[in-house]
Amino acid sequence: MARQARLSKVLVCESPAGDAPRLREAIDALGYDTVHCPTLDDCLRVAPQSAPAAVLVELPEDLENAVSLLQLLRRTLPTTPLVIVAPHATLETRARIHPLRPYYFAVPPVPSDELRAVIHGAVTSQLQRA
């Protein structure tokens, strides 16, 4: 696990109004190298260079724009596991996110231990593909 953690990068896109400290804490507890982005636009800019093993996205309130940006992110990183936490999700949101093939989609509250297990599973699945 320690070697895997050192070699694995997780891209974290936090929503300004979300639960960023808890998300950071969950990822940092795993020891992965993290790249934190304050917006999805920033995430899209750094995604190609960072080559993450997984991407954790906390969707902002502006879901229309967020879904469009997630579609671009999926095209940029077609096989990278997307872990999506959607505080303001509706059934329509879930239906729009589904074609993006997220590794995990949740509406908070998501227990920290569950989030850690999901991130670890996403990174592990990506490393096994490589």
Residue-wise pLDDT for 70-123, tens only, equals 999 999 999 999 999 988 888 888 899 999 999 999 988 888 899 899 999 999
Domain, as residue range, for 6: 2-129
Distances (CA, A) of 122 to 65, 79, 91: 25, 11, 24
Number of domains comprising the chain: 1
| Residue of 119, 124, 105, 123 whose CA lies nearest to 26 | 119
Rg (CA), the chain: 13
Q: Are 123 and 8 contacting, i.e. CB atoms less than 8 angstroms apart?
A: yes
* pTM listed for this prediction: 0.88
Residue-wise pLDDT for 21-72, tens only, equals 667 777 778 888 889 898 889 999 999 999 999 999 998 888 888 889 999 9
Q: For residue 76, what is the domain's CATH number?
A: 3.40.50.2300
